Chains A and B, each alone.
Chain A
Amino acid sequence: MTLLRAEDVTLGYGRTPVVHGVTLDLAEGGTGLIGESGSGKTTLARAFLGLLTPMSGNIWYGTQNLRKADRKAFRADVQPVFQAESLDPRMRVGRSIAEALPRSGRHRVPELLEQVGLAPDLATRRPHELSGGQRQRVVIARALAVRPRLLILDEPTSALDVTVQARILDLLAGLDTERLLITHNLAVVERLCRTSHVLFAGRVVESGPTADLLGRPAHPYTLALRDAVPKLGGPPPVARGRAEARPAPSGCPFRLRCPLAAPQCERAPEPREVAGRRVACHRAEDVLAGS
């Protein structure tokens, strides 16, 4: 049984839906949500955190509907890690962490700091006295304070320098907590998530084992993403299709950007099993053959 599951979830702000009918399970070994700005990945993360109620469909927390679930138990199981700027600037970081602990557990602050690779005496510092990487470690320590089963990480390293990012990724990879990772950085997903879902315009367009997805994409958007990422010493990044065309209002949302768009793409593709993953594309076989 997975800890969290989205079932045909539509999410939006006001009356405007931005995530459309998404179904996905959190898998063991890390789950990645990949997509560009505006693809709906943070919105989906907010719903998984119980911060946004679906317009339709359900989020399941074990066997309970998250809407009616015991919030206290849920908060102890599922913790968010956002970018480091989520610390109170006026509070000493030790106190920020202690707030997440019951009064009787406050002696654990030094232990939590050590768990994330920080010296316990940093507890008396305020956020501005720490580096970006140290602040992000404090955010992680605070999330770990309640011994959660799942961390929901939204772009946890995007604002950090690469050498700092590398150390935070090592830290996250070494934790025995499950994770849902939201990022636009494919390399980070490859490192931390065995399973991935690619979002485009609020729809999951491809899901499956990360290595298969990025090794041999079956959706043209996954392929465009993979080939656009520059690789050290590799060929120049390739722009496939028109990256700035808007999502199509009907049919396949990717068709106006897609170099393989065909007349059948005016009908919305149903997700189907192709080569060990689920993909929503009429031309998945052609994409696979070319990737």
Chain B
Amino acid sequence: MIEVRDLQVAYGGRVVARVPELDLRAGECVAVVGESGSGKSTTLLSLLGLTEGADVSGHVRVCGVDVLTATPRELRAIRGARVALVMQSPQAALSPTTRLGVLMRRALRLHGLPSGERVLAEAAEAVMLDPGILRRYPHEISGGQAQRFAIALAIALGAEAILADEPTSALDVTVQAEVVGVLRRLREERGLALLLVSHDLALVSTIADRVLVMRDGTVVESGPAAEVLSRPAHPYTRELLEALP
């Protein structure tokens, strides 16, 4: 579904992310971990051609589209509809004066998809939201509900993969557990693929199949999550693990 080879992202001649290899298949969860400034968010954004002003080189194939050479139209066809982006605070991206249901319907129409009541209610239920929430405005819902709405939007659009950047970092742990539960269920039931950018190694260890550890723009270690996080080969991975309180 996603295939990256020798990706390099630079701003003004300074390389901020270098990823030799990253693959994401259906139903799989791959995590990119690291500290602030490690290049993990840049890597994620570059997969959808969202690193404006950057020099991007290498090979990035997402759902059969070569992202680095794709036309804006080709990119629009995969963004949202096939690969959805879930950020830390989705509320910031929701129009404050639009009810959630109207917002979802608009997104569906934009992609030429059916947008009846039934479709909306099913998407809400898939993320364990009461469909009644679709009548509310963004400020009337909690952070956890907003995050699940963002995932519901992806489901309604039929996304096959979700790219999530710290999706639960701003949430309380009990709410985080609910959101993570929803993501896990969607993976199992619908074969949804998940690329998770996170600083939380403990969280990553409970859901990721594979993991890439980044530092200062470089992947220092990668492999099966169970392997990397229990027997780290790189001193930096060890340092990260030892730092867990």
Residue numbers of A with Cβ under 8 A of B are 36-37, 132, 161-166, 169, 184-188, 190-191, 224-225, 227-240, 243-244
Contact A244 B144, CB 8 Å, known A225-B174, A239-B178: yes
Q: How far is the CB of B148 from chain A (nearest CB, A)?
A: 9
Q: Are B142 and A230 in contact (CB under 8 A)?
A: no
User: Considering the chains assembled together, what is the distance between the CA atoms of A143 and B236 in angstroms?
Assistant: 32
Whether B110 sits at the interface, judged by CB under 8 Å, is: no
Q: In the complex the two chains form, what is the Cα distance from A248 to B111 in whole Å?
A: 42
On whether the beta carbons of A243 and B202 are closer than 8 Å, the reply is no
Q: Which residues on the A side are within 8 Å of B229 (C-beta)? A: 232-233
Question: A238–B174 Cα gap in the complex (Å)?
Answer: 8
Do the beta carbons of B175 and A244 come within 8 Å of each other?
Answer: yes
A163 lies within 8 A of B239 (CB): yes
Cβ contact within 8 Å between A228 and B174:
yes
Report yes or no: B243 in contact with A166, Cβ–Cβ below 8 A: yes
A224, B176: Cα distance in complex, Å: 12
Q: Say yes or no: A162-B145 contact (C-beta < 8 A), given A228-B174, A232-B202.
A: no
* B184 touches A (CB below 8 Å): yes
**Chain B residues touching A, range:** 20 to 34
- Residues of B near A166 (CB, < 8 A) are 242-245
B residues with CB within 8 A of A: 35-36, 142, 144-145, 172-178, 180-181, 184, 199-203, 205-207, 226, 229-230, 239-245
Bound form: Cα–Cα A236–B205 in Å? 9
CB pair A228 B176 closer than 8 Å: yes
Q: How far is the CB of A15 from chain B (nearest CB, A)?
A: 23
- The CA-CA distance from A132 to B36 in the complex, in Å, is 11
Q: How far is the CB of B37 from chain A (nearest CB, A)?
A: 9
- Contact flag A37-B180 (CB < 8 Å), given A233-B229, A244-B144: no
Contact of B177 among A161, A163, A238 (CB under 8 A): A238
Are A36 and B172 neighbours in the complex by a CB distance under 8 Å? yes
Asked if residues B245 and A239 are in contact (CB atoms below 8 Å), the reply is no
Q: Which of A188, A237, A238, A244 contacts B245 (CB 8 A)?
A: A188
Are the CB atoms of A163 and B205 closer together than 8 Å?
no
Q: Tell me which of A37, A187, A243 contacts B178 (CB under 8 A).
A: A243
CB contacts (< 8 Å) of B177 on chain A: these are 227-228, 237-239, 243
Closest chain B CB from A153 CB (angstroms): 14
Q: Which residues of A contact B199 (CB under 8 A)?
A: 161-162
> Are B245 and A236 in touch, CB under 8 angstroms?
no
Q: What CA separation (Å) do A187 and B243 show in the bound complex?
A: 11
From the candidates B174, B181, B241, name the one contacting A232 in the complex (CB within 8 A): B241
Measured between C-beta atoms, what is the minimum distance from A83 to chain B in Å? 15
Closest approach, in angstroms, between the C-beta of A210 and any C-beta of chain B?
13
Contact of A244 among B178, B181, B184, B206 (CB under 8 A): B178
Complex contacts, B200 vs chain A, CB 8 Å: 230
Across-interface contacts of B145 in A (CB, < 8 A): 244
B167 CB, min distance to chain A CBs, angstroms: 13
Closest to A237 in B: B177
Pairs of residues from A and B, 7 with the lowest C-beta to C-beta distance, nearest first: A166-B243, A228-B177, A187-B245, A36-B172, A161-B35, A243-B174, A237-B177
In the complex with contacts A239-B181, A243-B144, A185-B245 CB distance below 8 A: yes
Min distance, Cβ A144 to any Cβ of chain B, angstroms = 22
Q: Which residue of B has the minimal Cβ distance to A246?
A: B142
Q: List 5 A-B contacts (CB under 8 A).
A: A162-B199, A162-B240, A165-B245, A228-B177, A244-B145
Least CB distance from A219 to B in Å reads 13
Q: Which of B184, B206, B244, B245 is the most central at the interface, judged by chain A CB atoms within 10 Å of its CB?
A: B245
Q: How far is the CA of A191 from the CA of B244 in the complex (A)?
A: 11
Q: A166-B242, A237-B180 are in contact. Are A230 and B202 (CB under 8 A)?
A: yes
Q: Determine the chain B residues whose CB is within 8 A of the CB of A161 once the complex forms.
A: 35-36, 199
Chain A, residue nearest B201 (CB)? A232
* Distance between Cα atoms of A230 and B207 in the complex (Å): 10
B111 to chain A, nearest CB (A): 29
Please give the distance in Å from A172's CB to the nearest CB on chain B: 11
